Chain A
Amino acid sequence: MSTRAVLHPLALVALALLIANDHVLKAAFPGWWTGKLSDVAGLAVFPLLVAAGGELAGLWRGDRRTVVVLAVITGVVFAAIKLSPLAGDGYRVAQAALQWPFRALAALAHGRGAPGLGRAHLTPDVTDLLALPALLVSPALLAATVRAAVSSPRASGRPPEPAAAPGR
């Protein structure tokens, strides 16, 4: 069901907001609110994206329990990154490793040598924890999707139940 919830308009808006804020708005309007906007949008949709990815890969069912567990894990990891220098360093190294192939491709395209691994940028701002309530959005979107599917079986994508044969 999370593969369906991830197509919910609110999830799509949150994802679009995350990308636009990181790559356009932060540069155009650097400041407090653009810094928080990505945290809110990211936390709102991240558990649902992971749940949907796992469901597509056949790792789990992507039901409500899965999304709630992923939301809790996301919150704990997010808080640790913001509060603990050790966790923050771990995040910077892991993120840099994930980004390195893209940076290497960009460097090669510009005729430069492959860059070092380095560390990704991290702003350890405790006030970012104000965005944690956004984690409630993913379970809420899944619940809304389930409700819509139950109230309208056609909308669930399932074929309609066959009518009972007369005379049975």
Chain B
Amino acid sequence: MPPLPLRHRRLASAVIVAAGAFASVATTMVEWVRTDDVIIPPVHLDSAQPIIEYHLRAKAEGPVTDSRAVLTVTLDHAVTNGAVRATLSGPDGLDRQEVVVNPIAAEPIYFEITPWSQCPTTSCQLEVTLRLELTSPPDVVATADLEGRAELNVSAPGEEPAGVQVDLDVVDEVIP
């Protein structure tokens, strides 16, 4: 291999040294991520049963100190003559997200919340409610068919510690 001219060699060395500095600083910036998901069962809403609530339990057990979690819900829907208000909410301090779906919207509903920003202990658990409500003008017969999936991503900086368990379950279906 022909030798690099001195000026080019110094430039190449400087690039490698900079890459090494980045690697040394960023070595513990890597995040581990564990995921679990659950099916939102198919449901038919109409005037006789316009509302349903799913209680989701998001849980991370093991050495999860400083972990963060994002809960994402994706819903496919078919709505006739009305709209569906989908609400994801939890205990105080949790951002409440609301999406209204009308018949024109063809894309899946997609929304996410951060159930806990910094988990201070070795175990985190949170109950979140997904409420689906069919709305329609008076004297209009509306229906909606919905199904979907909820996904929990728990992440924290550093190498993934052994023994981390991440679970997301639908623990209850309530028809108010």
Contact = CB atoms under 8 A, between A and B. Distances in A.
Interface of A: 3-4, 6-7, 11-12, 15, 18-19, 22-23, 26-27, 30, 34-35, 38, 42, 45-46, 49, 52-53, 56, 95, 98-99, 102-103, 118, 120-123, 154-157
A120 B10 contact: no
A157 B5 contact: yes
Interface string B136-162: 000000000000000000001111100
Contacts of B29: 99, 102-103, 120
B6 A157 contact: yes
Interface string B18-34: 01111111111111110
Interface in B8-61: 9-10, 12-14, 16-17, 19-33
Given A11-B16, A12-B16, A26-B159, A99 B28 contact: yes
A98 to B, nearest CB: 5
Contacts of B24: 42, 46, 49
Nearest to A91: B28
Contacts of B9: 3-4, 7, 157
Contacts of A46: 20, 24
Contacts of B28: 95, 99, 120-122
Contact of B32 (A7, A11, A30, A154): A30
Contact of B16 (A6, A26, A123, A155): A6
Contacts of A12: 16
Contacts of B4: 7, 157
A52 B10 CA distance: 9
A22 B30 CA distance: 6
B16 A15 contact: yes
A18 B26 CA distance: 10
B95 to A, nearest CB: 12
Contacts of B14: 56
B157 to A, nearest CB: 5
B3 interface: yes
6 contacts: A22-B30, A42-B27, A45-B20, A56-B10, A121-B28, A157-B9
A18 B27 contact: yes
Contact of B26 (A26, A30, A102, A123): A102
Given A26-B159, A52-B13, A19 B32 contact: no
